[in-house]
Amino acid sequence: MGVTRVLFAARNRPFGVVLELDYEGAELPLTGASISMQVRQYAGQPGEPIGEHVDVPFTDAAHESEPGLRTLRVEPALSRATLEAMPTGLNAPEVGEADRHFHEIKLTYADGAQDTLWTGAFFLEPGVDDT
């Protein structure tokens, strides 16, 4: 079910995005489920993530215009403080360039089974306006 998606954030403001995943078939068994997002310096990095949103808000509803489709809407976020504290990416960016990290947004069902919803690069720009 996973989709590759590049995300962009800046150190000088909170990160928040709305992601929508359209799917066919029966409604997902989401009662008691949770969605989480982790950001790591590199894919497969052991230990604690460098950024995390544990209980990401989500909704699941019939698609607005396509019968037979449903839309899972997910709203991950990270605070400005979390973004400011992230280390420089392993891509060793030049001054003013983005740090490249990796994210995964995962659905955990009530029975413990898991699905990756989105994964991919997480570019962290230095930002310009520091107010």
CA-based nearest residue to 16, from 63, 83, 94? 83
Can you give the CATH number for the domain in which 91 is found?
Answer: 2.60.40
The rounded percent of the chain whose pLDDT value lies above 70 is 98
Q: Is residue 103 part of a domain?
A: yes
pLDDT in tens, 67-117: 889 999 999 999 999 999 999 877 888 888 899 999 999 999 999 999 999
User: The domain containing residue 41 runs over which residues?
Assistant: 3-26+33-125
Average pLDDT of the segment spanning 39-45: 94
**Using H for helix, E for strand and C for coil, what is the string for 57-69?**
CEEEEECCCCCCE
Is the residue at 130 inside a domain? no
Q: What is the CA radius of gyration of the chain?
A: 16
The dihedral of CA 81, 87, 93, 94: what is its sign?
positive
Global confidence as pTM: 0.91
Residues 6+ apart with CB under 8 A from 95: none
Number of domain units in the chain: 1
In a domain, 77, yes or no: yes
What mean pLDDT value characterizes the chain? Answer: 93
Give the pLDDT score at 130.
Answer: 67
